Amino acid sequence: MVDLAKTYDVLVVGGGNAALCAAITAREKGASVLILEHAPKPFRGGNSRHTRNLRCMHTEPTEVLTEAYLEEEYWDDLMRVTNGVTDERLARMAIRGSNGVGRWMEARGVRFQPSLGGTLNLSRTNAFFLGGGKALVNAYYATAERLGVEVLYETEVLDLEIDKGVFQWATVSCQGGEPVKVRAKTVVAASGGFQANLEWLKEYWGEAADNFIIRGTPYNKGRMLRNLLDKGATPVGDPRQCHAVAIDARAPQFDGGIVTRLDCVPFSIVVDKNAQRFYDEGEDFWPKRYAIWGRLVAQQPDQIAYAIIDSKAVTLFMPSVFPAVQADSIGELAAKLGLDTQALENTVAQYNAAVRPGNFDNSILDNCATEGLTPPKTHWARRIDEAPYYAYPLRPGITFTYLGVKVDEQARVVMEGGKPAKNIFATGEIMAGNVLGKGYLAGLGMTIGTVFGRIAGEEAAKNANH
Amino acid sequence: MRTTEALVDARSAMEICNACRYCEGYCAVFPAMELRRTFSNGDLSYLANLCHNCRGCYYSCQYAPPHEFQINLPKTFAELRAETYEEYAWPRPLARLFHRNGLVVSLITAIGIALIMIGTMLLQSNDVLFARHQGEGAFYAVIPHNVMVALGGATFGYAIIALIMGFLNFWRDAGGKMAELKPQSLRQAFADALTLRYLGGSKGEGCAYPDEAFSNARRVYHHFMFYGFMLAFAATAVATIYDYVFGWVAPYGYFSLPVILGTLGGIGLLIGPAGLLWLKAKSDKTPAPASLMGMDVAFLVLLFMTSLTGLVLLAFRETAAMGILLAIHLGFVLSLFVVLPYSKFVHGLYRTGALLRHAMERKH
């Protein structure tokens, strides 16, 4: 039973993958561990609920991964997406730590499956969880509880008392009740970023943030992150940046997850609310481009856009959760979308006139392109002329934020002056910016959370025992 | 399949699942789903019957209630499956027997037993009924051979015809084409059905039943029940051959083939249904429609009682109680035959059909 009067060895703030890896590791090292999860039990697990794989270095084929994915290639991939905005020592720790981590995970209940339909591009690099992230989270909670880790749901940490870089106690509220003190010898901050905090996002994005959709948990308000930064933790990552993709505008405000994504952009033209195109939809393969489209849509008036296709393209991409808006003519489609009929007809007509003949092939960067059109569409450009026509409304969908706290190789939070805090550790999204300072690499977040979760758990247990 | 509320729910769930696909590794439903972008009524009937109710997807689902998408596939498919049983029942007017099926099965069984009891009493004087009968033809001294054959043959024959007609209704609606049937598809489907592959998890860890933790308990109990049923069936078949081919008249010795088969089968039919009822009682009720509890429980109890009365008859067949015990057991057996096409029994048929359909359409 949870006893808030006692002093725990390790207090874990957050209840997702990183928190659970830290808690399980610390408990296995003999520490008494309390997890404080802000969400109620059905929504436990933070954004890990919505994940599906982790990026895994491996030297030979495994049961679920093809070929090999070696450290240097992994590192090169990271350099490519971050343009070098990374801490090489920590990044290489994450990469090396992912080698063989699947066995550790399996021993704690996680199961894997071959890469999912429609994700063949990840079959070599990413190990998929059977049932996805929620199944992983369930498995870890079951393991943690079996080991004797204690868990409080609907419990928010309001404040950490830190004296000269030493954590003393946490002030927490259970189920919205009166704040109480929880004492522990060490604390692991694993409470995610601040992407669900619209007020905070508005500091950088202004009123536009009102039109942002948060793809994951509504509980990542960044309270711990702000608290640590206010108390002298060294920030890492650009506070203005967030990872945003274009998702279906009809998605719920929070927690829409994977199903709201739209993969039709490369086969479409995308117009803003004035029915004008604004970017090359066929610039590159979608997995290499979807991460820029959230920002692109965020920069359009009212943060809305519409991807328009015709019946030729309708089966070329993964199905998504909401049916497309359908019409027998472009004019009718414009009316259904609330766009200016004439303007959309003109945009489509200009685009169709600019399309040059080519051999359409969605498996390569084909030669179907426009000529004399601004902006151009450089691949997969085919005339939009076969009814019925379809449209998907797009909005920016925020996945995560980059701002975090700086950590050292023991996952200790680095405080003002560059000195690591004695007993404050961080793992998961709250410190992912150390490794992924910019850009996005599928499955890396789970790798960082797992590897540094284990490090944080081990170091915290060690620290508590001394 | 007609359009119903359950079918519409299943369609919207499939559209969400098809955009997610995280559960692909759990069972055959998801790979089958991925072969489609839209779902016809027949497709949904097929998918609902392909679902083994292992519940892996329910506990893994980030869209499960209380999430606003309210995805609860085991429950949605169970509701739709029950409607498909009704949809394909033959003859049509008897489809309504699937309404409040638990009550229907119980009533038919009660009436069946009463009729056999009354019939036996009308047929035989108390002296005969309560006498000890031993040796060759002992059973037929109470219920004449030709009466037993006529009743058994008629009810069993009717059940077979009704089941075949129901299966064909399902097969046509699910889009199955006999012309495309290949031996390897049949082999695959029977292997999947006979091993309950999709209650076994991805690596034999079992299914999320009765709760979130994976277990093989359900699969094991189902095997006891199914193979118990098959052994009991084999016992009857062997006994029929003994009787008609060799002219050996029942009852047979305790160590004769029909009795050994029947006893083993009977034990399986006690352990299996009892275990499944026990699991059901303690199972998480959220991924299951409460309205279908009756159908499941009634059929399990009927199987259990049929077996129990058979074993009791075996134990006391040389006493004066044999006459009454025989009448009771025969009442259960004949009732079982009568309700087969209008009970949970049909799930095995449609499930196997769906597995066959899946074996035929998936990429080899």
DSSP B184-222: HHHHHHHHHHHTTGGGS-SSS--BS-SSSS-BSHHHHHH
Closest by Cα among B338, B326, B278 to B302? B338
Strand bridging mode A180-189 / A166-174: antiparallel
- Give the pLDDT of residue B176: 86
Residue A264 CB coordination number (10 Å): 24
Cβ pair A131:B212 closer than 8 A? no
State pLDDT tens for residues A66-96.
999 999 999 999 999 999 999 999 999 999 9
Return the H-helix or E-strand segment holding B271. Answer: helix B257-282
Using CB atoms, which residue from A116, A320, A321 is nearest to B24?
Answer: A116
**Residue type, position A190, single letter:** A
**Residue type, position B64, single letter:** A
Q: Minimal Cα–Cα distance from A434 to chain B, Å?
A: 28
For residues A108 and A142, the answer to whether their CB atoms sit within 8 Å is no
Q: How far apart are the first and last CA of chain A?
A: 25
For residue A314, the domain's CATH number is 3.90.700.10
The answer as to whether A2 is a domain residue is no
Block residue for tokens 């749901």: A153
- pLDDT tens across the length of chain A (466 residues): 788 899 999 999 999 999 999 999 999 999 999 999 999 999 999 999 999 999 999 999 998 999 999 999 999 999 999 999 999 999 999 999 999 999 999 999 999 998 877 777 799 999 999 999 999 999 999 999 999 999 999 999 999 999 989 999 999 999 999 999 999 999 999 999 999 999 999 999 999 999 999 999 999 999 999 999 999 999 999 999 999 999 999 999 999 999 999 999 999 999 999 999 999 999 999 988 888 999 999 999 999 999 999 999 999 999 999 999 999 999 999 999 999 999 999 999 999 999 999 999 999 999 999 999 999 999 999 999 999 999 999 999 999 999 999 999 999 999 999 999 999 999 999 999 999 999 999 999 999 999 999 999 999 999 998 7
Task: Write the DSSP string, B92-149.
Answer: GGGGGGGTTHHHHHHHHHHHHHHHHHHHHHHHS-HHHHTS---STTHHHHHS-HHHHH
My answer on whether A166 and A50 are in the same domain is yes
**Residue type, position A421, single letter:** A
Among A397, A429, A457, the domain boundary falls at A397
- Which is it for the CA torsion B230, B231, B236, B242, positive or negative? positive
My answer on whether A410 and A375 are in the same domain is no
In chain A, which residues have their Cβ closer than 8 Å to the Cβ of B63? 257, 259
Block residue for tokens 């309001």: A158
The answer as to whether A106 is a domain residue is yes
Q: Is A357 exposed, middle or buried (0-12, 13-18, 19+ CB in 10 A)?
A: exposed
Cβ pair B25:A114 closer than 8 A? yes
Cβ pair A142:B21 closer than 8 A? no
Nearest CA in chain A to B30: A117
My answer on whether A79 and A217 are in the same domain is yes
Cβ pair B202:A111 closer than 8 A? yes
Cβ-count burial B126-157 (b if 16+ within 10 Å, e if not)? eeebeeebeeeebbbbbbeeeebeebbeebbe
CA torsion B278-B280-B282-B288 (nearest 10°) is 180
State pLDDT tens for residues B15-66.
999 999 999 999 999 999 999 999 999 999 999 999 999 999 999 999 999 9
For residue A59, the domain's CATH number is 3.50.50.60
- Give the pLDDT of residue A291: 83
Cβ pair B24:A113 closer than 8 A? yes
Residue A282 CB coordination number (10 Å): 24
**Given phi > 0 = left and psi -120 to 50 = alpha, else beta, which region is B121?**
alpha
Residue B27 CB coordination number (10 Å): 24
Judge whether A53 is closer than 8 Å to chain B, CB to CB: no
Nearest CA in chain A to B23: A131
Contacts with B50 (C-beta within 8 Å, 6 or more apart), sequence order: B27, B28, B29, B32, B351, B354, B355, B357, B358
My answer on whether A199 and A68 are in the same domain is yes
Residue A173 CB coordination number (10 Å): 16
Q: Minimal Cα–Cα distance from B324 to chain A, Å?
A: 53
Cβ pair B24:A118 closer than 8 A? no
In chain A, which residues have their Cβ closer than 8 Å to the Cβ of B62? 49-50, 132-134, 255, 257
Judge whether A135 is closer than 8 Å to chain B, CB to CB: yes
Cβ pair A258:B20 closer than 8 A? yes
d(CA B156, CA B147): 14
**For chain A, what's the residue count?**
466
Going from the C-alpha of A88 to that of each of A96, A412, A443, B132, the distances in angstroms are 12, 17, 18, 92
My answer on whether A122 and A202 are in the same domain is yes
My answer on whether A262 and A233 are in the same domain is no
Q: Which of B54, B62, B71 to mutate to test the interface with A (most CBs of A within 10 A)?
A: B62
Nearest CA in chain A to B21: A116
My answer on whether A151 and A260 are in the same domain is no
Q: Which of A321, A322, A390, A446 to mutate to test the interface with B (most CBs of B within 10 A)?
A: A321
My answer on whether A317 and A434 are in the same domain is no
In chain B, which residues have their Cβ closer than 8 Å to the Cβ of A251? none
In chain A, which residues have their Cβ closer than 8 Å to the Cβ of B65? 42
The answer as to whether A330 is a domain residue is yes
Q: Minimal Cα–Cα distance from A31 to chain B, Å?
A: 26
pLDDT of residue B364 exceeding 60: no
According to DSSP, the residues that pair with A172 across neighbouring strands are A157, A180
Q: Which domain holds residue A119?
A: 7-239+402-465
Nearest CA in chain A to B14: A321
Cβ pair B23:A131 closer than 8 A? yes
Among A363, A397, A431, the domain boundary falls at A397
The answer as to whether A184 is a domain residue is yes
In chain A, which residues have their Cβ closer than 8 Å to the Cβ of B34? 117
Using CB atoms, which residue from B18, B64, B203 is nearest to A319?
Answer: B18
ipTM of the complex: 0.94
Q: Which of B8, B15, B16, B20 to mutate to test the interface with A (most CBs of A within 10 A)?
A: B20
Q: Minimal Cα–Cα distance from B1 to chain A, Å?
A: 23
Nearest CA in chain B to A134: B60
Residue A373 CB coordination number (10 Å): 18
Nearest CA in chain A to B66: A42
Going from the C-alpha of A433 to that of each of A226, A234, A327, the distances in angstroms are 15, 12, 44
Rounded to 5°, the CA angle B61-B63-B68 comes to 160
How many folded domains does chain A comprise? 2
My answer on whether A321 and A419 are in the same domain is no
**For chain B, what's the residue count?**
364
My answer on whether A205 and A219 are in the same domain is yes
Using CB atoms, which residue from A117, A133, A315 is nearest to B21?
Answer: A117
Return the H-helix or E-strand segment holding B301. Answer: helix B293-315
The answer as to whether A277 is a domain residue is yes
My answer on whether A154 and A278 are in the same domain is no
Cβ pair A132:B31 closer than 8 A? no
- Give the pLDDT of residue B90: 95
State pLDDT tens for residues B318-357.
999 999 999 999 999 999 999 999 999 999 999 999 999 9
- Give the pLDDT of residue B201: 87
Among A397, A420, A455, the domain boundary falls at A397
Nearest CA in chain B to A133: B60
Nearest CA in chain B to A132: B22
Cβ pair A130:B202 closer than 8 A? yes
My answer on whether A191 and A206 are in the same domain is yes
Q: Is B229 exposed, middle or buried (0-12, 13-18, 19+ CB in 10 A)?
A: buried
In chain B, which residues have their Cβ closer than 8 Å to the Cβ of A258? 19-20, 22
The answer as to whether A177 is a domain residue is yes
- Give the pLDDT of residue A116: 77
**CA gyration radius for chain A?**
23
Strand bridging mode A150-152 / A166-174: unpaired
Cβ-count burial B262-297 (b if 16+ within 10 Å, e if not)? bbbbbbbbbbbbbbbeebbeebeeebbbeebebbbb
Q: Minimal Cα–Cα distance from B120 to chain A, Å?
A: 57
d(CA B299, CA B86): 16
d(CA A198, CA A200): 5
Residue A416 CB coordination number (10 Å): 10
Q: How many CA atoms lie within 13 A of A116 on its CB side?
A: 23
Block residue for tokens 């793809």: A215
Q: Minimal Cα–Cα distance from A421 to chain B, Å?
A: 36
- Give the pLDDT of residue B202: 82
Strand bridging mode A126-129 / A112-113: antiparallel
The answer as to whether A117 is a domain residue is yes
The answer as to whether A1 is a domain residue is no
Judge whether A116 is closer than 8 Å to chain B, CB to CB: yes
For residues B103 and B295, the answer to whether their CB atoms sit within 8 Å is no
Q: Minimal Cα–Cα distance from A137 to chain B, Å?
A: 9
In chain B, which residues have their Cβ closer than 8 Å to the Cβ of A132? 20, 22-23, 60, 62
Cβ pair B19:A258 closer than 8 A? yes
Cβ pair A321:B16 closer than 8 A? yes
Going from the C-alpha of A126 to that of each of A120, A197, A237, B195, the distances in angstroms are 10, 30, 24, 31
